[in-house]
Every structure is written in C-alpha cells, then in structure tokens.
Structure 1
Amino acid sequence: MRDAIRFVESKVDWILKQKTKIQAQSTLFAPESCFRTRFHKLAITKGNTDKVYNRVGNGVIQIFIPDRVNHEQPKVQEFIKNTLIDVMRWEAKVYLPKRLKELADKHGFKYENVSIKNASTRWGSCSSVNNINLNLHLMRVPEHLIDYVLLHELAHTVVKNHGEKFWLLLEHCYPNARKADKEMNNYRTQTF
C-alpha cells in the first residue's frame, strides 16, 4: 500500500497534466458556443422556461435552458450532445448517400450498401464486399474534406490497402489527397 501511494505521489504532475488534457478535449456547450453542422448552427438560449428542450428548423438547433439551470450540468450537456447527434445523423442520412453516389458515378466506382454510424475512431470504412460505412460526424467538416473521405472509401472498393496503387488512384480522383489526409487530423471523429 505504501509503495502504491509513493508511486502515485511521484506521478502527481503527470496525472494533473493528463487530467487537464482530457478536460480540454471534451466540449462544453455554452450560450456563447459556436458549433456548426453541415446545415445547422447551434444556438443556446437561457430564459423563462420550466425545462430544457430543443427546437430544430430553419438551419438552427435551438436549445432552451431555464434561467435557474446551470448549462454546465452533466444532464444538460448530455441533452445538447444527444440533440446534436440526432441532427447530424439526420443530415448524414440525407446528404452522404446522395453525395457518395454522385462521386461514384463521376469516377466509375461501384459499391454495395452505405451505412451511417456514430463511430468513435474512423471517418469511414469499406468492407471486403464493398459496403461503405460513413461517420455521422462528417457533418462537422468542410465539404472538400467530406468529398475526400468519400473518395477515399470509394478507392478502397478497388484497392483494399493504403499502398502506392491506392494513393495513385485516390490522387487521380482527388488531387492533393495526402494534403487532405493530413488536414483531416485537425478534426476528431468524436467532438464530445
């Protein structure tokens, strides 16, 4: 027990740095938050209401919070996050399959099915039988990067690895693909 305590005490600085890093990575939604999806922007309003609720329409995800309720409460944050996920799922189902088909037709790719997922680590994937999975969080990235991810997965319908043939094919369809690949590192698949 003493050894364990000594070990933890010797790592206090590291533990505190890791805690700060984790807290900085999680999104805290507040009235001044600037969060956008492909087709909507988030607006949080505190006011004279008796419960937390949402209204989505006309390009706005409106969250209403009673004046007496702190927006930082975990239940409020969870409500906002679930609302955003629902909106992004709807947007992704409307936009991504259509855009995938447009790009596939334009570049001569064939795929089987497309699914929208709330994946924690990948923007997309292509199965051995050419089923394509796409992350609903794509609705938070710029349009040119959405196209990059879609073409990346379509290229996997032809080349199943990330070798030189894959990159040549992808560069043919999406010039500067490696630059876009690096740019995707500025985004996380899970923002919260």
Structure 2
Amino acid sequence: MEKKIYDNDLGTILLRTTPRATRYTLKISKGMITATMPEGGDEGWMLSFIEENRQKLLAALKKHPARPLLNEATALQATTFRVEIFRTDRNNYYMTLKEGILRIACPSGTRFESDRVQEILKDLLEKALRHEAKRLLPDRLMALAARHRFTCTGVRIMNSKTRWGSCSTRKSINLSLSLMLLPWHLIDYVLLHELCHTVEMNHSDRFWKLLNSVTDNKALALRHELKGYHML
C-alpha cells in the first residue's frame, strides 16, 4: 500500500507498507523520501520517526536533490545535440534528431508533472542517446585502443544507471549510453579508464599510473570533473 504526503520542508514523502519490510526505514531517491514500514505498521510512529530524523533528511536532500522535470523549459545539452521539448496539436509523442537538435513533440494537453509523462520523455531521450552512443562510441573506443596499444575484444552499449563503463576479464567493454551526456574529453577519459582495465583489473597504483600516462597526467583531475555529471 502506498500514499503520498507533503511536508513544507521535506517535500513529497511516499509512505509504503510492504510485507517484505521487517523494520521502519527511510530512503531518499531522486529528491523524494520513501518511508517504508512493515505490514500492519503504525503510521503515527512512522511520522514520528520522520520527525526525529528531520535534520538528517534535510541534509541528505541537499546532497541528493530531485532531478528537474523534463518539460518545455528544459535546456539540456548532450554531447551531440541539444534538447527542445514543445507541445503540438497532435495526439501522440514523436521526436526528430536533425542538425544537432533533438526535438520532442508532446500533445497539447501534456501534464509534465505526471510520472507517466516523465517516463515517456525519458524513454525518448534514452532512445536518442542510445542511437548516438552506438553510432559513435565503438569506433572511438577502438581508435583509442589502437593509439595506445590496448587490446579490446568487444564493446556493448548498455543502459547502466550506476556505472559509466565496465570491463570484463575477457577484455570486453560495456559503455553506458549516458556517456552521451558528457563533453568529449570526459567521454575519452571513461573510455581510456576502461581500456586501462584491460591491463589492470583493479584500481591499484599501477592502474592510476597507466591511466595518467594516457591522459597527460590528468587522470585525477578528470575523475574529479566527472563527479559533477549525472547519468540519465
């Protein structure tokens, strides 16, 4: 069972009751607090629990704010295109990617605050990012591998939400389509990071020395810069 309540400081709070829960827990995801309690739990006790943790929750919300809604005011610049979202008189959603602009058309009555609408827009954006990632990243990875004499046995584009890339023991590399939200120098950093894992499968001193050698001694600076970006 679920219901939403609103707090002036904490924003929308999702109250969930589930038989799988064995205790009262609080979690923040995408800027919203989810309060979970066991089946038959006491809602009043949960509200008190939230109140007891108010200051911790406020601090956590500052670190993990809600992502802005995708809507007509969105000014998103991806690696190879910028996004324009607008309303039309048509009854369906559609998009075009041309001359560096991804245009997403929405029905005139679209409610952008709707979770379903956000899912649709995110799916369309994901489709465009996947297209660009498949078109550009494998060749770029192989070119970097050849330039720095790495051996890569394969590359796949994935929709990872937690890792920009990964490398298997067989020297096959997975890349997140979210890479196409980064500037090119950070994309190259991630590609080189994974290529270095074809030689060093951990993050030892040898790994960082190798990564430094192929990034003009900028590995740590690029790593720090990457932390300022978020995945789709």
Shorter-chain TM-score range:
0.7 to 0.9
Aligned to 1:69: 110
Aligned to 1:140: 181
2:122 equivalent to 1:81:
yes
Asked if the contact 1:52/1:76 (under 8 Å) is kept, the reply is: no
Give per-residue Cα distances to partners, 1:31-68, cap 9 Å, x unaligned.
12111222221111123223333233332221112332
Aligned to 2:220: 178
Aligned to 2:142: 101
Give per-residue Cα distances to partners, 1:88-145, cap 9 Å, x unaligned.
1111111111001110111110011111111121111111111111111000101001
Identity %: 36
Q: How far is 1:171 from its partner?
A: 0.9
Whole-angstrom CA distance in 2 between matches of 1:53 and 1:31 = 15
Whole-angstrom CA distance in 1 between matches of 2:159 and 2:129 = 9
Whole-angstrom CA distance in 2 between matches of 1:169 and 1:14 = 40
**Which one has more relative contact order, counting CA pairs under 8 Å at least 6 apart?**
1
Equivalent AA in structure 2 for residue 82 of structure 1: D
Q: Which runs of 5+ in 2 are unaligned?
A: 1-41
Aligned to 2:98: 57
Question: Match of 1:109, SS?
Answer: coil
Cα distance, 1:152–1:5 mapped onto 2, change above 3 Å? closer
Asked if the contact 1:30/1:44 (under 8 Å) is kept, the reply is: yes
Q: Which runs of 5+ in 1 are unaligned?
A: none
Whole-angstrom CA distance in 1 between matches of 2:132 and 2:202 = 29
Aligned to 1:39: 80
RMSD value, Cα: 2.1
Cα distance, 1:8–1:56 mapped onto 2, change above 3 Å? same
Which structure dedicates a bigger proportion of its chain to strand?
Answer: 2
Question: Match of 1:34, SS?
Answer: coil
Equivalent AA in structure 1 for residue 145 of structure 2: A
Equivalent AA in structure 2 for residue 188 of structure 1: H
Question: Match of 1:159, SS?
Answer: coil
Instruction: State which of 155, 159, 171 in structure 2 corresponds to 1:130.
Output: 171
Which structure dedicates a bigger proportion of its chain to helix?
Answer: 1
Asked if the contact 1:65/1:71 (under 8 Å) is kept, the reply is: no
Whole-angstrom CA distance in 2 between matches of 1:17 and 1:25 = 13
Whole-angstrom CA distance in 2 between matches of 1:39 and 1:16 = 36
Alignment length, in residue pairs? 189
Per the normalisation by structure 2, the TM-score is: 0.74
